[in-house]
Amino acid sequence: MTLTSTPVQHPSVRRVAFQSALAAALFLGFPAGLLLWLILFREASQTATVDPLVNILQANGLNKIILLAFCSIGWSYLLGRISGYRAWWKIGLATALGILAGWFSPLSNLDGWFADGLPIPTLYALTMCGLVASVTLCVGLAYGLLLRNARAALTMAFTTSFASVLALVLTIFLFDQFGIRVGGDIPLAMSKVTTVSLLISAMAGGAALGVGFSWFAGTGNLPTPVG
């Protein structure tokens, strides 16, 4: 494999990864868990001011994914700035389509495959892993299709999914070590575990996707792989 430009310096890769991680946390991880953030805020503040939004998000599961797809516009714009890819609206379309495809894919219902006989914490972890893996795989594939590069599609899909799911599992495990697990005695355990794990997962996946997209897009911030 040869490069068409000067080899990238490590600080540039770190910068792309860091900026992508923050952008993903803000516009993907936080909106993905917004309903649970609102519930935590309501319980902590003992106020009903957020109830209308909570009711909207709870009314239909599709409302949450539509909100995430809408918020992903911010991620797409920032990824365009970070990577140097000018047509950021194309990234936005690919992201939204990837999120929707991942939400409806069979992998997002992974818990349904093993529902019988599993303890609640394990079933919860399967649910989260299936959903995150499904969405990140589909978004990575969509980015590869955008670049018309099969190698990029497979690379971004699997590296993003692996990074996201690994971060998710490690976060859930860390909470478990402190006795905070879904189905346990800690109040609002699911909200606490899910909000934080989605943020960490989004940061890990965003860093991988940002570096991968910048690399394969060949926009100047990172070199382009050839061959």
At residue 223, the pLDDT reads: 58
Distance CA 209, CA 160 (A): 6
Q: Is residue 142 part of a domain?
A: yes
- 209: region left, alpha or beta (phi > 0 left; psi from -120 to 50 alpha): alpha
pLDDT of residue 9: 44
Q: How high is the pLDDT of residue 220?
A: 52
Question: 3-state class of 216 per DSSP?
Answer: helix
Residue 226 has pLDDT above 50, yes or no: no
Q: What is the pLDDT of residues 90-124, one digit of tens each?
A: 999 999 999 999 988 887 776 666 666 778 888 89
What residue numbers bound the domain in which 205 lies?
8-221
pLDDT tens digits, one per residue of 128-171: 999 999 999 999 999 999 999 999 999 999 999 999 999 999 99
The answer to whether 176 and 168 have CB atoms below 8 angstroms apart is no
Helix (H) or strand (E) holding 2: strand 2-3
Is residue 3 domain-resident?
no
Q: Is 73 within the bounds of a domain?
A: yes
- Quote the tokens at residue 116: 């019988």
Q: Which residue has the higher pLDDT, 159 or 1?
A: 159
Name residues whose C-beta falls within 8 Å of residue 188's C-beta, 6 or more positions apart in sequence: 39, 40, 43
Q: How confident is the model at residue 104, as a pLDDT?
A: 87
pTM: 0.88
Number of domains in the chain: 1
Asked if residue 202 is part of any domain, the answer here is yes
Q: Which tens digit of pLDDT belongs to each residue from 62-85?
A: 889 899 999 999 999 999 999 999
The answer to whether the CB of 95 falls within 8 A of the CB of 70 is: no
Interval 3-57: pLDDT, tens: 444 444 444 899 999 999 999 999 999 999 999 999 999 999 988 899 999 999 9
Cβ atoms within 10 A of the Cβ of 181, count? 22
Per-residue pLDDT at 182 exceeds 80:
yes
pLDDT at 7: 43
Q: Give CA–CA dist 213/20, Å, rounded.
A: 10
- Determine, yes or no, domain membership for 226: no
How far is Cα 215 from Cα 134, in angstroms, rounded to an integer? 23
